[in-house]
Structure 1
Amino acid sequence: MLNRSFHYMLLGLLGAWFSSAWAADTVYVSLDGTHVEPYNTWETAATNIQTAVDYASAHTDSYDTVLVSNGFYYASNSITPTLGIQITAALTVKGLAGREATIVSGTNLPAPIFIVSNANAVVEGFTITGGRNIGVKMWNGIVSNCIVSSNHSGTRSGGCDFMTANAKVFDSIICYNSAQNIGAAGAGGSAGTLTRCVIVSNKAADSCGGLAGVKAYNCLIAYNMCENKVAGANGATLVNCTVVSNRVTRQRAAYQVDGLYGCTLTNCIVAYNGVSDFVACTSSYSCSPIRQPGEGNIGADPQFVDLANSDFRLQFGSPAIDAGTNLAHITDDLDGNPRPLNGNNLGAFHDMGCYEMPAYTEGDLSCRLTVTPAAGWGAVTASCQAVLGGANRAINHYWWNFGDGSPVQSGASLSTATHTFNQPGRYDITLTVSNTAGAVASNKLTDAVVVGVATSYVAEGGTG
């Protein structure tokens, strides 16, 4: 009895710590509760989530929050056990100590784990896992700060299935979900919005691995797979997203796209997605190794901090820093940092991709470079410009290495340099500078210039 009382005391202290507002308006859920109505203390807490939701829904004049203690819960509906947890009232259903500590499983449940239909409903702070038929199905409402993992669907999207544009997911990780046919393994539907989410390592047999038919803001879409058709995103609207390392694994359909198919992009980075980054997409102010048609797009290596170890933040000197267009409704990045920041000391503009470079701070010396044009056919004459940063920019020497075996160009006044690349290939350009105090800085732009093979055409009756 002493141990049980001590447990209730700890739960009470945790509740007070996480929010002083939870009091008479809260229904509690705990695996150690005595399951006595009205479930409004930790000692009398309901022992399953749906019972607490049903009680609060029937008494919305008194209760607006269902607070769930740490533990592993099976999703079940108290009226129909084959249904998931249905939230039809304006309730906040919240894990006490966050998404890692409160787990809801759909093991053996032939329905979505959570079904959210009220426009003012919020599901927050859970790991939602093991669903045989969708993790979260949403007509309305919000899912926030959740991990939606290892769920499956045979006919719709596996992780989050959006039914209307009023369904929204914030600050969540959607990973290791799967789908068989229609929809996306990660998240998809006819509408819906994801903001500051990580969509990684989802896998579809057909249709799409990552996202389909939704809007995504400040999201990372990476390592998703599809056996057929599209791995990254299909028919989505993406703003300030990073799409990287997605793969089609079998390539059986009439079209196979590792990255994006039929998407609209603004301020995005799309790179290293197998053979094809884009098919039938419209983009602006976005970065990819090969420049895409559209206003403000650039063709360059985005220069991630550590591609091999999945750190897709930007290095100082990345061409994607301050290269986007400022959008009033995009005020932060995936990490929650404010946008825009002056990342390269040239002005505060939105960076491309889901991460914003921290505001520039003065050091002794730094440099980056810009190259125009970045691609061409046969032979390309590129103009290179040094961009300097640091407290001491009194440069006494520049070195330009064009990566094609030609001699390094150097001199005291070579802040710009011109070079012609005559052979097909991809060329890295490295700028090194030194100042009067003896400080040295260097920056390499990978795939700064791409030269394609010039094509000659031969035809009977030609005029040449």
Structure 2
Amino acid sequence: MQKTVLIIFFVVWYSTSIGQRQICVDGNFTGSPENGTPSNPYRTIQAAINEALSGDTIKVAKGMYSAQALQIVEKKVHLLGGYAGSGDFNHANPLANETLIEGTEEAPCIFIDIQGASIAGSMTISGFTIRNGQRGIELTGGWSGFLDNIAIENNIIENNGTTGTSQRGGGIGLDGKNVIIRKNVIRNNRSDRGAAIGGTSSHIENFLVADNIIDSNKGYGDHGGGMIISGTGTIIRNIFDGNVTAMADPSYGWGGAICVVNEDTLKLITLSHNIYRNNYAPDRGGAVFVDEAAKVLMEHELFYDNRTKKSGSAIYVDEHWDHTPSVLYMNNCTVWGNSTDEPDGAALFVQSSSAHIQNCIFWNNGSDFDSIAEGHLLVEYTLTQQGFTGSGNISSDPLFADAPNGDFHLKSTNGRFNPLTEEWENDEVNSPAIDAGNPSSDYSNEIEPNGGRVNLGCYGNTPEASKSKANAVVNETALISWTIFPNPAKGNITIASLQSGSNVIITNIAGRKVFNAVIKSERININTAAFDNGVYIIQVVNNGAVEAKKFIVRK
């Protein structure tokens, strides 16, 4: 996992204008007049914003811009820091040219408000250190739905937020559609809920939170130390480290790293390839809290060294107040070394909701699973320390490479990836989690020899999956190259270029069959209207050969 989440911040070079005009800012400029040219830049960022039209690019030179409460209202601009200044605005290098936006306790460092009308194009905030504001960045679109297509990337967002209020998002207050938060360091922020990133508006759609380090943020309320989020979107390849909730009243609180809430049961939030370590919630959900009828898909997630006082040291799943259950799907995740103060406290706690677990590893957590109030657990093809009844479940030491130091690759005599050297090395033993996954699960991303079956844990079906002793023998001539489209699917999906007589099997992420038929033609159209939103596996079997592919239903 370490290799897949290595994040190189700020190595971003802008050599051409993103928008229409270029407007320059240099706080150290002492001449006159100020007209936004490289030789006569504006001294303040707000002056450049006021001059800009939608589509313009504002290039900001290094230095500290103090007592800033920047307002970008009813326009989309590209605000880029990291330029050398003194007439040089050709290339941005934020590492060499630190550009500080120093805020105040009275207002966000950057306030973005688009409510009056839809504005074409996109907006970018990139290359700054944003700190000490009432918020770092606040996005608001009201009820209009016009706030969209904004990228916040390659920034350091730190020491922002307030306490004693109902604020959501001390670092970033999230709203709108198609918002990207990528390759930022978001650290040491504070808020009531979601100290790093907070957004619970019903207008949040298709967000992407990717490749960020979300570190040491403190929630003073009882939900979501690092993040609180609703809507639809994906949280992928982030590191959540040392986030805490319930600072104001440490007697109760849930979700040290993330709290996901969604009253609309059709909305899906995907958590994929994230690392959660050293997060804390005093009650349940040391890392993740799935609440209020939310539907969450976890894939290739790694949880270790998270803590709670009660059961649910890593994950807590709870119902809505009207008793609508939340739903968690976990596939190829690793949960290790999470702890609670309760002697029998479990890593995963389900209350009046459901969790479907497959191809995962739960080890060294004290207890693995717990549920109350008709909480439903379906656990299949999973390695657990306590043992759990279900198809394909096993209980045996998974033989991680070096779990205490964060390396959860599986030992293999035929090849294990070492993230420190980025080379493959051989062990003297084989992990029992190799080739132990659901036979119908996709394994196509595992390099050969892969045994024709997915590995358990967070590296299963990834290029870092440990190698098998040898591949299973299959009839490679029995299948031709078949395709699926559209992907994602809404109402229908087509499987084309099939060989006559192929058996087509579709399973959901929990391994339950939703379609099974022998196809006599080269093409089949399948109605997916009755399928829930989520990830599905198509398995085509013909004359002893098996091939699996993944598709998504997103309505």
CA spacing shift, 1:286–1:15, aligned 2, 3 Å: closer
Does residue 150 in structure 1 map to residue 220 in structure 2?
A: no
1:272 partner letter: G
Gaps of 5+ in 2: 1-9, 58-75, 83-96, 115-120, 142-146, 163-169, 247-252, 261-268, 291-295, 318-327, 341-345, 370-377, 385-395, 417-429, 472-555
Instruction: Kindly report which structure 2 residues correspond to 1:12-411, keeping only aligned pairs within 5 A, or say none.
Output: 17-22=13-18, 24-32=20-28, 39=36, 41=38, 44=41, 47-48=44-45, 52-53=48-49, 55-56=51-52, 58-60=53-55, 64-69=77-82, 70-76=97-103, 82-88=107-113, 90-96=121-127, 102-105=128-131, 107=132, 109-115=133-139, 117=141, 118-133=147-162, 134-140=170-176, 141-154=179-192, 156-163=193-200, 164-191=204-231, 192-205=233-246, 206-213=253-260, 215-235=270-290, 236-248=296-308, 251=309, 255-262=310-317, 263-275=328-340, 276-280=346-350, 281-289=355-363, 293-299=378-384, 300-315=396-411, 316=416, 317-321=430-434, 340-342=445-447, 345-347=450-452, 349=454, 352-353=457-458, 356-358=462-464, 387=469
| Structure having the higher Rg | 1
1:371 corresponding residue in structure 2: none
Conserved? CA contact 1:343–1:359, under 8 Å: no
- How far apart, CA to CA, are the structure 2 residues paired with 1:279 and 1:311? 25
Conserved? CA contact 1:291–1:297, under 8 Å: no
**Corresponding residue SS for 1:278:** strand
Query: Kindly, what percent of the aligned residue pairs are identical?
Result: 20
Please give the per-residue CA displacement for 1:12-49, whole angstroms capped at 9, x wherever unaligned.
Answer: xx99954445475444455445697664648615544x
Deviation at 1:271, TM superposition (A): 1.6
Please give the per-residue CA displacement for 1:110-163, whole angstroms capped at 9, x wherever unaligned.
Answer: 335343653201111001000123101111311111111110112x21111123
- How far apart, CA to CA, are the structure 1 residues paired with 2:228 and 2:402? 29
Deviation at 1:210, TM superposition (A): 1.1
1:358 partner letter: E
Conserved? CA contact 1:219–1:242, under 8 Å: yes
CA spacing shift, 1:327–1:178, aligned 2, 3 Å: farther
CA spacing shift, 1:279–1:15, aligned 2, 3 Å: closer
- How far apart, CA to CA, are the structure 2 residues paired with 1:55 and 1:302? 61
Conserved? CA contact 1:28–1:68, under 8 Å: no
1:297 partner letter: T
Conserved? CA contact 1:28–1:66, under 8 Å: no
- Report the TM-score when normalising by structure 2: 0.51
**Corresponding residue SS for 2:401:** strand
The CA RMSD over aligned residues, in Å, is 3.9
Conserved? CA contact 1:177–1:203, under 8 Å: yes
Conserved? CA contact 2:224–2:257, under 8 Å: yes
Deviation at 1:325, TM superposition (A): 6.5
1:245 partner letter: D
2:542 corresponding residue in structure 1: none
CA spacing shift, 1:137–1:16, aligned 2, 3 Å: closer
Please give the per-residue CA displacement for 1:207-266, whole angstroms capped at 9, x wherever unaligned.
Answer: 220111153111111110122332111105422211111011xx3xxx542111114312
- How far apart, CA to CA, are the structure 1 residues paired with 2:122 and 2:381? 44
CA spacing shift, 1:116–1:343, aligned 2, 3 Å: farther
- How far apart, CA to CA, are the structure 1 residues paired with 2:329 and 2:406? 24
Please give the per-residue CA displacement for 1:177-207, whole angstroms capped at 9, x wherever unaligned.
Answer: 0101243111122335311111111011222
- How far apart, CA to CA, are the structure 1 residues paired with 2:11 and 2:361? 46
1:138 partner letter: L
Conserved? CA contact 1:264–1:282, under 8 Å: yes
- How far apart, CA to CA, are the structure 2 residues paired with 1:321 and 1:53? 56
Conserved? CA contact 2:239–2:275, under 8 Å: yes
Deviation at 1:349, TM superposition (A): 4.2
- How far apart, CA to CA, are the structure 1 residues paired with 2:457 and 2:274? 12
The alignment covers a number of residue pairs equal to 327
Conserved? CA contact 2:19–2:56, under 8 Å: no
- How far apart, CA to CA, are the structure 1 residues paired with 2:11 and 2:101? 22
CA spacing shift, 1:151–1:343, aligned 2, 3 Å: farther
Conserved? CA contact 1:342–1:348, under 8 Å: no
1:135 partner letter: G
